[in-house]
Amino acid sequence: MDSLAITSLKDINLSTVSWDDIVNFLTHEALDFGSKLLVCIIIYIIGKKLIRFLNSVLEKLMNSRKLDVSVISFLTSLINILLTVLLLITIINILGINNSSFIALFASIGIALGMALSGTMQNFAGGVMILLFRPYKIGDYIQAQGQEGTVKSIQIFSTVLITSDNKTVYVPNGGLSNNIIVNFNNQNTRRIEWLIGVDYGTDYDKAKSIIQSILSSDKRILNDPSPYIALKSLSESSVDILIQAWVKRPDYWDVYYDINEKIYKIFEINGINIPFPQLKVHLSEDSKNK
């Protein structure tokens, strides 16, 4: 039989086909597949570069339209995935894999994948909800899901946070959209609170006057609302003084630490002691005699 008569593996019959015909057929098939594979590799490399180029163009276009950076980050991530899937489908077609078989294969395991990816789809839906209701945006400092940090990007499945010690944290969008989020950037001002303990027997009016003087000398502390000072509680080892003051959001931590330092130093100069936890033990006469 001529080798051209062999069009598929079904045509190979060892009783009617010579080994030369089989070798020729397999060689032809290998070369054909090899050429297709080479084309696929080239298309993949070009396709990835094209996807990066299109993402760059679309990102510039969205920036020129002044879209929110959170929306840009989400759409860029989504478009990148869709284009990559389209590229893979193109490669599968070039390799000659039957689309109907390919679709049937995925349809047969669709339910199992749906169950396995239910959390992933929830994260995708969560990302959409975040973009719609915008509880936070890129650049905000948030606290959620036991994590806190500055939002670097909002991707289709997760939000990327940069912590204060420069760690990168990926938080699933599903949990973020269904749970409490604390956004520290939504308001222009924040209230700082201190709880300072002094010894029993301390002149409270004197301590309060010193604290008022410290607060009024710091121009970063706002007068409206005005600072608040009160005797909060009589604890086991100290008399606790509550201090509340409002500042602009960027000044929060600097003011917090500076006032801590000033109170400690000025209290010491004025003879006001900040006690450490202590326990007084009173012995009865019987215990002393023993």
207-253 pLDDT, tens digit each: 999 999 999 999 999 999 999 999 999 998 899 999 999 999 999 99
Per the CB < 8 A criterion, the answer to whether 227 and 191 are in contact is no
Q: What is the pLDDT of residue 3?
A: 42
Domain ranges (residues) in the chain: 3-108, 134-183, 189-269
Question: What's the whole-number mean pLDDT along residues 23-50?
Answer: 79
Question: What's the whole-number mean pLDDT along residues 31-53?
Answer: 83
CATH number of 189-269: 3.30.70.100
Q: What is the pLDDT of residue 192?
A: 96
Note the Cα 278 to chain centre separation in Å. Answer: 43
Per the CB < 8 A criterion, the answer to whether 149 and 169 are in contact is yes
**What secondary structure, in 3-state letters, does 84-96 show?**
HHHHHHHHHHHCC
User: What pLDDT band is residue 113 in, cutting at 50, 70 and 90?
Assistant: very low
- Provide the pairing of β-strand 158-162 with 228-234: unpaired
Tokens, residue 57: 């163009």
User: Is the confidence at residue 282, as pLDDT, over 80?
Assistant: no
DSSP 3-state of 198: strand
User: What pLDDT band is residue 2 in, cutting at 50, 70 and 90?
Assistant: very low
Classify domain 134-183 by CATH architecture: Roll (2.30)
Q: Which of the two residues, 14 and 75, has the higher pLDDT score?
A: 75
Mean pLDDT of the chain: 82
58/80 Cα distance (integer angstroms): 11
Q: Which of the two residues, 275 and 21, has the higher pLDDT score?
A: 275
User: Is the confidence at residue 10, as pLDDT, over 90?
Assistant: no
Q: What is the pLDDT of residue 119?
A: 66
Check: pTM over 0.85? Answer yes or no: no
Q: Which of the two residues, 97 and 126, has the higher pLDDT score?
A: 126
- Interhelix angle 69-94/19-64, nearest 10 degrees: 160
- Fold assignment, 3-108: Helix Hairpins (1.10.287)
